Every structure is written in structure tokens, then in C-alpha cells.
Amino acid sequence: MATLSKKPEQDAISPFDGQTLDLKEGLNAAWTLIEEGVRDRRSIFHLPTVASISVDGSPTIRTVVLRGVDVSERSLRFHTDRRSAKFLELTRNPRIALHFYDASIKTQIRLEAVGELHVEDSLASAAWKASQPFSRLCYAAKFGPGEEVAMPPAAPTPKDAEIDDGFGNFCLVIATVHRLEWLYLEASGHRRAAFDWAKDGTLSARWLAP
């Protein structure tokens, strides 16, 4: 029987922990880990790596904060600045991939998704209002992400901008997942499974050679 190298106080479920070889249970456990990433800032799942396709066609990745998950909709949410490279990239090609690896449970989860951009609409407005004032202030920065600057600029403070000044730069990204893949590392044999949702929402699940 496989054992998990997690701390005793951790209750985190791993889809791959040797307790289950049931694909459905594994999928539910994977979603639970991702949901915990929204609630728990210390969770590995709080900071996914997000990949997109840059305008010259090369892959590009970055860390974001996971802000929300809706399992029934298969959607994940994160925030970004509309002045960032990824915003332009997603307007051209909305396909994204997300990656998590939690070494404490030897678990990698990879997602393939389509990103939907929300700027200055009701969903963006609700996400903006739910954000911390400090986070909102960042969007009022004079220079957009990636702009060349003479010196690293100081973060905006309430002296420089009103808390809502940056709303026009704020973008809520809703990523709808169509593939979830998990990999659990186990000396006696790694376990890898893939879950694909068709356009009509039909789920197919299968084991893969690791």
C-alpha cells in the first residue's frame, strides 16, 4: 500500500494516494485539491502556472493566484492586468493550460482550458469589488506589466491613486476546463489518468501509461 509523505495534520486528499483506483473518485479528489487552493493561501494549488501561446507562437508561462473554482461549470478564475502580454495573447488565442505540482503528495495536475476575458462588465465588477484594496491599487500602476522602465517603480499607494482608479485595467479570466490530467508518483508504478469533456459536457475518463 502506498503511503503519503504528507504531514499528519494535513487532511489533503490525493487522487493518487493508493487508497483509490477509482477514476471518478480520483477526479473528485483532484477538484477538491484545486478548490482548497482557492481557500488556502499556503496550498500549492493557490499558485498555478498558467501557459498561453505568445503572439509569435511560442509557449509562455507565468504564476497567477487562483481566485475561484466552480466544479459544476469546470471553471477556474484568476485576475490579470489588461495591459499584460497574456491579455493580448488570450484575445488572439484563448487556449490555456494550467499546471500544479504538490511534492508533499507527489501529485501533478494539468488542465487544458479556454480562457474568457472580462473587462468592465458585471462579472469583472463583482470580482473587483471582492478584491482587497491593496490588490485593486496595483491596477492603478502608471506602467503596465512588461513595460520598460528606467528604474523599478514603487507600488502605488493611496497617496498616488484612488482605490478604484485601476478598474479599467482589471481583467477577470474565467478558464473553462476541457481536460484534466493527473499523475501520482509511486515507486511501484506511477499512476496517470486523463479526463476529457466533450463539447456537450460528456466526460470520458481513462488510465494512461505514465
Ligand X SMILES: Cc1cc2nc3c(=O)[nH]c(=O)nc-3n(C[C@H](O)[C@H](O)[C@H](O)COP(=O)(O)O)c2cc1C
Distance of alpha carbon 21 from the chain centroid: 26
60 binds ligand X (CB under 6 A): yes
> CB under 6 A: which stretch of 36-44, 56-64, 110-118, 195-203 binds ligand X?
56-64
84 binds ligand X (CB under 6 A): yes
65 binds ligand X (CB under 6 A): yes
Long-range contacts of range 125-131, CB-CB < 8 Å, 24 or more positions apart? 125/167, 127/67, 127/77, 127/79, 127/170, 127/172, 128/164, 128/167, 128/170, 128/172, 131/79
- Closest CB 137 distance from ligand X, rounded Å: 14
45 binds ligand X (CB under 6 A): no
- Which residue from 114, 112, 76 is spatially nearest to 97, judged by alpha carbons? 112
Side-chain half-sphere CA neighbours of 112 within 13 A: 10
Distance CA 169, CA 167 (A): 5
The site map against ligand X for 138-177 (x = CB under 6 A) is: -------xx-------------------------------
117 binds ligand X (CB under 6 A): no
If the CB atoms of residues 47 and 71 are measured against ligand X, the closer one turns out to be: 47
> CB under 6 A: which stretch of 25-33, 74-82, 119-127, 155-163 binds ligand X?
74-82
If the CB atoms of residues 23 and 64 are measured against ligand X, the closer one turns out to be: 64
- Tally of CB atoms within 10 A around 110: 18
The burial of 41, by beta-carbon neighbours within 10 Å (0-12 exposed, 13-18 middle, 19 or more buried), is given as exposed
210 binds ligand X (CB under 6 A): no
107 binds ligand X (CB under 6 A): no
- Closest CB 84 distance from ligand X, rounded Å: 3
